[in-house]
Structure 1
């Protein structure tokens, strides 16, 4: 069977490699546009912003750039950066609440979306999900409540603002329960890895599955899939991270999974209806940024092998082996 679908808009590509590689990987993965999230390298001033936008222009690639709303305990020049081409703001939920309030005020006034990483650092001293598996491996874990307490806090906070707020890379069933009653200006994003894998994949200290936020339990995974079906989740994104630091002791291995080269293929391989996938990876992200996706691709369903040698990304840190969909 084959279907024609719009290209995807990936709302979570970490700046872990060059814009050139991101552009080429996006082409392989059926990605029309990508939002760069500044988690690996800072983007908080005009120089960093201009550099990435210039590289994207040279590649003729539609790159949206999120700037850090708070950098080293200080508010960034959000208004100036928005005028210089910034498309979104990225913050961590456990920053100073007065600064978060200021960010939300700016976002509301400037009509620019805020992407929030909900995680309490003081509760997240581990390197994988806090579970029986972590205990058996002798590895410190990150509990579900390190995320859900921050989600609850931010849900209450954003009720007092009209800024568009995206809860990025939600992983736990507890967070989903809280977000079932989210304000109308709140959106939920889920990383595709958390819809495929659970923490059992790390039983053999396989660092390919070491990512952040971590893979959670099978129960959490199923709760996320159900939330996609029920319309609680608004976006599925890649959380693409390219790294070569995997073949080292587990605790020292870098976080991240490379999959931008197969993002759209992976999405349509999920156990979800194609129309739901189209909504979550194409229509909803485009609507968030008020753009239209005029490029289409044809998806064929079957059984296909993942060929890492074809990746344009420098990161071959990809545990995916088989796909149920490919771009024709």
Structure 2
């Protein structure tokens, strides 16, 4: 028995590999279009933007490119870059507050969404979620307030503007609590890894589960799933990061989990209704960027075994390969 679902729009694909690989992996994973985030390599000027858009055109793939709003402590040419094809702005929350304010002013005036990585870098030098598990492994942890304190700050700033603001890759129940009564111009994005896994998966020093933002507690995971079910969360995205440096000690391993090749399949395997998943990975992203979903994907009900040998991504850093799960 099969189900037919709309293809997805992945709103968080860091530029960890070439546009060609991203396009091929997206097609594997039932992703009609993706938003490239400049979190691995900079995209802050016309040259960087044009290069990525050209490669996407060559690959015949609908790539939406987010540009840095602030680069090396200076405001970028947001208006010019939007005219040249930028689809979104990306910023880190711990930049200078006056610069953040300027970015919000531009975003409101130009009607372009802002994606905010809410993370205090000075508190985030650890390996994994700050918990008893991290302590037992003898590794440094990343506290939940490294995120939630920044969420509170950006939320307060957001309330003074009509810009569309996406709180990207939220991981904690505290952040959800802060944002639960958000106005219509504010959106919550959650990475799919944080809906499947928690810090317990790292108990055996398994570097495949080392990612950023980190996998949080089981309680946080359940809170995120509940927020998805109630549609407090607006988007589920992949945060697909292709790395090759994983077969090393946990402290030395790179952050990131590869899963763009199976993104839509994974989403419909979550303990959420089909209607909810469709909203969070297809309808809501399409509405944010005013694009149409023209294609569908056929999924076979029952067991689904992940075969990483078929990944188009260069990253085989995928813990999902050990799972056999139900498409519900």
TM-score (norm 1): 0.98
SS in 1 for 2:34: strand
How do 1:165-184 and structure 2 match up within 5 A?
Answer: 165-184=165-184
Deviation of 1:325 (Å): 5.5
Q: Decide whether the 8 Å contact of 1:90 with 1:114 is kept in 2.
A: yes
- Residues in 1 aligned to 2:2 and 2:239: alpha-carbon distance in whole angstroms: 27
Q: Decide whether the 8 Å contact of 1:114 with 1:166 is kept in 2.
A: yes
- Residues in 2 aligned to 1:325 and 1:61: alpha-carbon distance in whole angstroms: 29
Deviations 1:148-198 (A, max 9, x none): 011111111111000000000000000001110112210000000000000
Deviations 1:244-268 (A, max 9, x none): 0111121111100000000000000
2:323 is matched with: 322
- Residues in 2 aligned to 1:168 and 1:216: alpha-carbon distance in whole angstroms: 15
Number of positions where the alignment pairs a residue of Structure 1 with one of Structure 2: 326
Deviation of 1:121 (Å): 1.0
Q: Which aligned runs of 4 or more in structure 1 are off by greater than 6 angstroms?
A: none
Does 2:195 correspond to 1:195? Answer: yes
Does 2:142 correspond to 1:142? Answer: yes
Gaps of at least 5 residues in structure 2 are none
2:133 is matched with: 133
Deviations 1:64-111 (A, max 9, x none): 000000000000000000000000000000000000000000000000
1:255 is matched with: 255
- Residues in 1 aligned to 2:31 and 2:305: alpha-carbon distance in whole angstroms: 20
Q: Decide whether the 8 Å contact of 1:117 with 1:169 is kept in 2.
A: yes
- Residues in 2 aligned to 1:43 and 1:251: alpha-carbon distance in whole angstroms: 28
- Residues in 1 aligned to 2:62 and 2:324: alpha-carbon distance in whole angstroms: 26
How do 1:28-47 and structure 2 match up within 5 A?
Answer: 28-47=28-47
User: Structure 1 residues 323, 82: closer, same or farther in 2, change over 3 A?
Assistant: farther
How do 1:14-33 and structure 2 match up within 5 A?
Answer: 14-33=14-33
Deviation of 1:301 (Å): 1.4
| Stretch of structure 1 that moved more, 307-316 or 243-252 | 243-252
1:213 is matched with: 213
Aligned-pair Cα RMSD in Å: 0.9
- Residues in 1 aligned to 2:258 and 2:186: alpha-carbon distance in whole angstroms: 28
SS in 1 for 2:319: coil
- Residues in 2 aligned to 1:278 and 1:265: alpha-carbon distance in whole angstroms: 12
Does 2:63 correspond to 1:63? Answer: yes
